[in-house]
Amino acid sequence: MNNSKNKLKICRVCGLYSEEYFPWGEDGESPTYDFCFCCGVEFGYGDATLEGVKSWRKKWIESGAKWHDPEYKTENWSLEEQLKNIPEEYR
């Protein structure tokens, strides 16, 4: 996960990585206003500022890190592992 393209496939709040998904568009500047399957943030709204990203993440983890769309949750999902995906600048 070292190139910039891959970074665009990661939810800034929870670190969810998706092969074919770009929360903020392929240019990283065109939010989709979709909701993250995992933390439920609305891309382009709840994650528009670093402050927003951090407070959403905090609230989400404090409330048990529940999946917004549990059907996408993988069997051996690990919150800790997923959080490692979050790009440096959004931690």
Minimum Å gap between C-beta 68 and Zn ion is 8
R_g (Cα) of the chain, nearest Å: 12
Contacts 24+ apart (CB under 8 A), 40-43: 40/68, 41/11, 41/12, 41/13, 41/14, 43/11
Question: What is the phi/psi pair of residue 69, to 5°?
Answer: -130, 80
Q: Contact between 86 and Zn ion (CB under 5 A)?
A: no
Q: Footprint of Zn ion on residues 36-75 (CB under 5 A)?
A: 36, 38-39
Binding footprint of Zn ion, residue count (CB under 5 A): 7
**Residues 8 to 37 in contact with Zn ion, rule: CB under 5 A:** 11, 13-14, 16, 36
Nearest approach in angstroms of CB 75 to Zn ion is 19
Per CB under 5 A, residues contacting Zn ion are 11, 13-14, 16, 36, 38-39
